[in-house]
Amino acid sequence: MKMSDSLNKTVTFQPHQTKQTSPSPATLSTTGRLMSYNDQLKAGLQNGIGFTRLLDQLISTTSTQELFQAVADLTAYHLDTAYIVFPQQYSRSDFYLIFLNRLLDLHQLSGVVLQSSDQYHELYHEYPGINAAGYFVFKFPENDPSGAYYIEKNSQLELFYLDFTKHLLRFNSHTLTQLLLVDYYPKLDHQNIKKFATILLAIGNYLKRDFGFDVDFGLLDPINSCVYQISEPDLPTTIIDQLFVIAAKGGKMLEAGADQSAVLKLDNDVTVTIFREADPQQAHFGEWLLKVWDPQQTISWFDVLLHYQFLRDWYLNNLPSLEIKADLQYFS
Amino acid sequence: MAEVSPVEIEQFQQSAKELQKKVSNKIRYLQTLLNAVQAHDDRLIYQLIDGENYSHQIMQAKHGTADAGNERLLNDVTAQISQYLSINLLSYLKETYPFFYFQQTGLGNYQFFFGNWWDRRLFGTLDILKVAFEFDEIEYQKLKRAFELEQENKRLNSDQIAVISQQTDQLQALINSQAERDQQKEKIRQQLKQLAQEKVLPWEASKIRENKQQLVSQLSELTDQDEKAQKAYKLIRESQKDVLKLSKEDTLIGYEKQSIVAKFGSFENFEARNKSLYRDYIADLIATKGRVKIENE
């Protein structure tokens, strides 16, 4: 890791210019001024020490709760004072990246490497196997002080939205599809794409379990009860006809299920169901929805798309209708 | 009351006897049917309700032993008879024709779908009393034709799809060549402009006119193509819909063929089996006689 060596490039924290508790130096005697200056320095140093304690905590704690507290406190920390300015500082994105990296470490999950860029004076995430295609950092929306987007730096695709204050995580099915299935699929080893998706899923699971985050996994959700909402709830049945034809070419039969649903039985007892919600009590009554079922609840719609060429073709050819909806509140 | 002559008495008694005999015969018929129903003897029921068909099919008799008079007694209970008989028959058919999926549409009335796949076709109705399929003629002919086309290595809609694809290719070419046409048009316009500016000597006038006429007609031909290209997008989209419909039908029929081949080996065997269905079923009932299939009523 390398500190940012220029304030202009990664300044994130503004010193307290306005908040002064002691009387104005102009009204004091020389000795008084000296003492006041000294006190300010001490306070500034103490402030700095406090910061280093939090940084220690972020880097070395073995408790997920302390880790979370550290990142929350560091994010809000004002390191500089009117008397002491630290020229080399990490950015908020850097803290977030360190946090995720450490969170995965604490769960003994490897696969994300925290790197530092000399060129841009920032930290970034890279994933062995897909690092040739890009790297990942956090981006902060201007009018939203607590949220952050995890983006692929080259394409600027926002993969998920993270908010530590609201305890909220939203994956973006649209960008995940674009990055992993459209951009990466033809040029990268599919095992490595899968590994990357597995880590994203793990991040969601840890935030949910360890800190009670409200998580929308989007198309990465492997739970059987997950119902994927598609972009065109009033799906024309010709699109299901297309699946029927293309599945036959791929050696799978699209079956007629109950209530005019379409059922696709895949290998290893994985079943994809396209159905129209028939229960007026349900939120999405009358809408076409997607479900993926597997005995271990480890297979998501994404996994199925990654594995089956014909499903991927069908999905990508009909994205305007079929794309799994992303939370519009966070992704436009 | 008037005096009754001995002859009349004789006649009266005679006719009473005749009627008794007839009625007794009917009672016997109905009693036999009742016993058969109670004993779950479906074979006997089939024999009783349609003697003609039974003797024709089972005994291979030239003259059936029809009992039309008695059978007519059942005219208003055929739905109930069908309903009763359907239970054993359907379990037999499900084994013999595992790809037919039956759906009850009324008392003793069944229709069936071919297959369990997406948008499977409604393939006909079941005549329970005759133990026969009433195939939907249009759907059945499509299937038959598809089997015939197999020898040519074609699917039912291969030719049609090929024609549409060719049209689509032409339309696409028309769209793709737009830039080229624009260039050509520009060139022709330039030439026309040049012609208009040139000084024309009297003896050249007709040649020039001819020349100009040719250019104008070339230009209008190109504009016609432009118009076609404009409409091409829509036509291509419609063709895609048509192709999807046809491919879907081919896929459906492909599954139907697979199902038939898997169970019967060939379409001919399937047809032969349909023809002998009544006989086969009665034979099955005889073979399983005494083994009551449906335990509880």
Whether residue A31 is found in the same domain as residue A129: yes
Residue showing tokens 């991927």: A312
Other beta carbons within 10 angstroms of residue B256's beta carbon come to 22
Give me the sign of the Cα torsion angle B82, B87, B88, B90.
positive
The last residue of a domain, from among A220, A247, A271: A220
In tens, the pLDDT along B7-17 reads 889 999 999 99
Whether residue A215 is found in the same domain as residue A234: no
- As given in the structure block, the two tokens for residue B175 are 């769209």
- Please report, as a single letter, which amino acid is at residue A287: E
Residue of A nearest to B246 (CA): A245
Does residue A110 sit within a domain?
yes
* Residue of A237, A238, A244 to mutate for B, most B C-beta atoms under 10 A: A244
3-state secondary structure (DSSP) of residue A159: strand
Lowest mean per-residue pLDDT among A170-174, A302-306, A313-317, B286-290: B286-290
Whether residue A96 is found in the same domain as residue A126: yes
C-beta atoms of B117 and A244 within 8 A: yes
* Cα distance between residue B252 and residue A106, in whole Å: 53
Does residue A288 sit within a domain?
yes
* Residue of A253, A259, A261, A265 to mutate for B, most B C-beta atoms under 10 A: A253
Taking the Cβ of residue A317 and every Cβ of chain B, the question of whether any pair is shorter than 8 Å is answered with no
Chain A residues within an 8 Å CB radius of B117: 244, 253-256
**Would you state the pLDDT for residue A33?**
87
**Would you state the pLDDT for residue B200?**
74
Taking the Cβ of residue B242 and every Cβ of chain A, the question of whether any pair is shorter than 8 Å is answered with no
Whether residue A208 is found in the same domain as residue A308: no
Domains of chain B, residue spans: 7-75, 152-261
Whether residue A215 is found in the same domain as residue A226: no
A262: containing domain: 221-324
3-state secondary structure (DSSP) of residue A143: coil
- As given in the structure block, the two tokens for residue A20 are 């002064």
- As given in the structure block, the two tokens for residue A18 are 């306005």
**How big is the CA angle at B143 (ends B137 and B145), to the nearest 5 degrees?**
100
Chain B residues within an 8 Å CB radius of A237: 119
- As given in the structure block, the two tokens for residue A268 are 């290893």
Whether residue A212 is found in the same domain as residue A255: no
- Residue of higher predicted confidence among A216 and A122: A216
In tens, the pLDDT along B271-282 reads 999 999 999 999
pLDDT band at B206 (very low <50, low <70, confident <90, very high): confident
In tens, the pLDDT along B235-268 reads 999 999 999 999 999 999 999 999 999 999 999 9
Residue A259 to chain B, least CA–CA distance (Å): 12
Mean pLDDT of chain B: 90
Residue of B nearest to A274 (CA): B118
Does residue A330 sit within a domain?
no
CA proximity to A316, closest of A119, A149, A124, A182: A182
pLDDT band at A31 (very low <50, low <70, confident <90, very high): confident
C-beta atoms of A242 and B244 within 8 A: yes
The last residue of a domain, from among A220, A240, A259: A220
ipTM: 0.81
Mean pLDDT of A202-225: 96
Phi, psi angle pair for A190, to nearest 5°: -65, -30
3-state secondary structure (DSSP) of residue A18: coil
Does residue A1 sit within a domain?
yes
* Cα distance between residue B15 and residue A168, in whole Å: 98
pLDDT band at A13 (very low <50, low <70, confident <90, very high): very low
Chain B residues within an 8 Å CB radius of A243: 118
Whether residue A202 is found in the same domain as residue A114: yes
* Full DSSP string of A199-247: HHHHHHHHHHHHH--EEE-GGG---TT-EEEBS-SS--HHHHHHHHHHH
Residue showing tokens 């209008």: B220
The last residue of a domain, from among A188, A220, A252: A220
A299 close to A239: Cβ distance less than 8 angstroms = no
Residues 6+ apart with CB under 8 A from B241: A238
Q: Is the pLDDT of residue B296 over 60?
A: no
**How big is the CA angle at B61 (ends B59 and B65), to the nearest 5 degrees?**
95
Q: Is the pLDDT of residue A223 over 70?
A: yes
Whether residue A31 is found in the same domain as residue A6: yes
* Full DSSP string of chain B: -----HHHHHHHHHHHHHHHHHHHHHHHHHHHHHHHHHTT-HHHHHHHH-HHHHHHHTS--SS----HHHHHTTGGGHHHHHHHHHHHHHHHHHHH-TTEEEEEEETTEEEEEE-SBTTPEEEEEEETTTTEEEE-HHHHHHHHHHHHHGGGT--TTHHHHHHHHHHHHHHHHHHHTHHHHHHHHHHHHHHHHHHHHS---GGGHHHHHHHHHHHHHHHHHHHHHHHHHHHHHHHHHHHHHHHHHHHHHHHHHHHHHHHHHHHHSSHHHHHHHHHTHHHHHHHHHHHTTTS-S----
Mean pLDDT of chain A: 90
C-beta atoms of B119 and A241 within 8 A: yes
Does residue A329 sit within a domain?
no
**Would you state the pLDDT for residue B64?**
60
Whether residue A187 is found in the same domain as residue A234: no
In tens, the pLDDT along B127-160 reads 999 999 999 999 999 999 999 999 999 999 999 9
Whether residue A129 is found in the same domain as residue A184: yes
The residue count for chain A: 332
CATH number at residue A235: 3.30.310
Whether residue A194 is found in the same domain as residue A241: no
Q: Is A119 exposed, middle or buried (0-12, 13-18, 19+ CB in 10 A)?
A: exposed
* Cα distance between residue A149 and residue A8, in whole Å: 22
**How big is the CA angle at B27 (ends B23 and B28), to the nearest 5 degrees?**
115
Whether residue A110 is found in the same domain as residue A203: yes
Residue of A nearest to B243 (CA): A242
Other beta carbons within 10 angstroms of residue B171's beta carbon come to 19
